[in-house]
Amino acid sequence: MDLNQLRLFLALARTEHLSRAAAEAGLAPATLSHHLAALERSLGTTLFDRSGRGLRLTETGRLLRGFALRIVNEAEAARAAIAEQERAESGTLRLGVIHSFHANLMPGLVAEFLRAHPGIRVEAREMIASAIEQGLLDGELDLGLAFAPAAHPGLGCARLFDEALVLVTARGSPWAGAPPESIPLALLPPRFATRRMIDAALQGRWAPKVVAEVDAIGSILALVRSGAVGTVLSARSVVGEGLDCRAIADPPPMRSAALLWCPARYQSASARAFSALVRARLAEPGGRRGARR
């Protein structure tokens, strides 16, 4: 039995008249009769008493009517829900975002997105870049905001903008203006993509004097404000007063922000809409050249 057969069965059950039910369905009475016979054969039972000129539901037919109503209604509800989701009117959008973008970019992007799509629920998780990439591959995330190029070749990657990595010290501290190689540094651990970029950028320039590895940028900045250490971060990561940023090399090392997704997985309408918003608000001219799709 299929949905069409159940709909025709319900029309017959409602009208108890073959010709009227056929007219409602836009079918010839013989065609409707054929569908009814096929449904009865598939169930191995008789659904209507055909004695006299009309049709009367049998006891089995009355039993099926309750199930058929629920099945057809659920199918219509599913169709409506899918249509809403395809119009980005419902559902959940799951985002993975590195710390500096989560703190500085996500509030404005999510607020604008929710104003345009109030029926969508947004889950934005602060994650390291490698976890974002794995979440996209595993289907646990819809989109990621991290770095280009993506470490995994199976991911789509659209470069958005470049930003410099800078030396950060507390204003008025002993390290303000000191030679970079003399400053004790608190850095992210090597599992963070930003730390690996810093190590690669400084190799052959000057050897960083790392005295602490801390896995939270907020804690690193608190240490820097104390005057005990400096750090190297993107300028976008530096929030709050009392901190100075300066170049650590000429030219300064850069990192590229990127929108990530998994082309092998279905992308919902809400993900497509958020992707378009991110590109419109963040992509610099030429930022999508070389993007993998």
The enclosing domain of 207 has a CATH number of: 3.40.190.290
Q: Are residues 127 and 264 in the same domain?
A: yes
Q: Are residues 24 and 63 in the same domain?
A: yes
Q: Are residues 171 and 250 in the same domain?
A: yes
Q: Are residues 200 and 269 in the same domain?
A: no
Distances (CA, A) of 261 to 23, 63, 266: 50, 48, 10
C-alpha span between 149 and 203 (Å, rounded): 20
pLDDT above 90 as % of the chain: 64
Distances (CA, A) of 70 to 2, 3, 75: 14, 11, 8
DSSP lists the bridge partners of residue 49 as: 56
Q: Are residues 41 and 172 in the same domain?
A: no
Residue 75 resides in a domain: yes
Q: Report which of residues 155 and 196 the model is more confident about.
A: 155
Residue 291 resides in a domain: no
Position 276 scores a pLDDT of 96
Of 41, 61, 86, the last residue of a domain is 86
Q: What pTM does this model have? A: 0.70
Residue 156 resides in a domain: no
Q: Are residues 112 and 47 in the same domain?
A: no
Convert the pLDDT of each residue in 19-61 to its tens digit: 999 998 899 999 999 999 999 999 999 999 987 667 899 999 9
Convert the pLDDT of each residue in 71-94 to its tens digit: 998 888 888 778 877 777 888 999
Q: Which two tokens stand for residue 251?
A: 């030219």
Q: Are residues 134 and 100 in the same domain?
A: yes
Single-letter amino acid code for the residue at 129 = A
Position 249 scores a pLDDT of 78
Q: How confident is the model at residue 287 (pLDDT cuts 50, 70, 90)?
A: very low
C-alpha span between 187 and 205 (Å, rounded): 17
Bin 55: left if φ > 0, else alpha if -120 < ψ < 50, else beta. Answer: beta
Mean pLDDT score of the chain? 89
Q: Are residues 251 and 165 in the same domain?
A: yes
Q: Are residues 15 and 132 in the same domain?
A: no
Instruction: Report the 10 Å Cβ neighbour count for 276.
Output: 10
Q: How confident is the model at residue 290 (pLDDT cuts 50, 70, 90)?
A: very low
Q: Are residues 117 and 239 in the same domain?
A: no
The enclosing domain of 132 has a CATH number of: 3.40.190.10
Of 65, 86, 107, the last residue of a domain is 86
Residue 112 has pLDDT above 90, yes or no: yes
C-alpha span between 202 and 183 (Å, rounded): 14
Residue 288 resides in a domain: no
Position 286 scores a pLDDT of 56
C-alpha span between 73 and 223 (Å, rounded): 60
The enclosing domain of 17 has a CATH number of: 1.10.10.10
Residue 291 has pLDDT above 70, yes or no: no
Average pLDDT, stretch 241-254?
A: 86
User: Which of 244-251's residues contact partners 24+ apart within 8 Å by CB, and which partners?
Assistant: 244/168, 244/169, 244/170, 244/171, 244/176, 245/166, 245/167, 245/168, 246/166, 246/167, 246/169, 247/164, 247/166, 247/167, 248/165, 248/166, 248/167, 248/180, 248/201, 248/202, 248/205, 249/201, 249/202, 249/205
Residue 129 resides in a domain: yes
Residue 126 resides in a domain: yes
Q: How many domains does the chain have?
A: 3
Which domain covers residue 121, as residue numbers?
92-150+256-282
Position 289 scores a pLDDT of 37
Residue 121 resides in a domain: yes
Residue 210 resides in a domain: yes
Of 38, 56, 86, the last residue of a domain is 86
Q: Are residues 192 and 140 in the same domain?
A: no
Q: Are residues 175 and 249 in the same domain?
A: yes
The answer to whether 171 touches 244, Cβ cutoff 8 Å, is yes
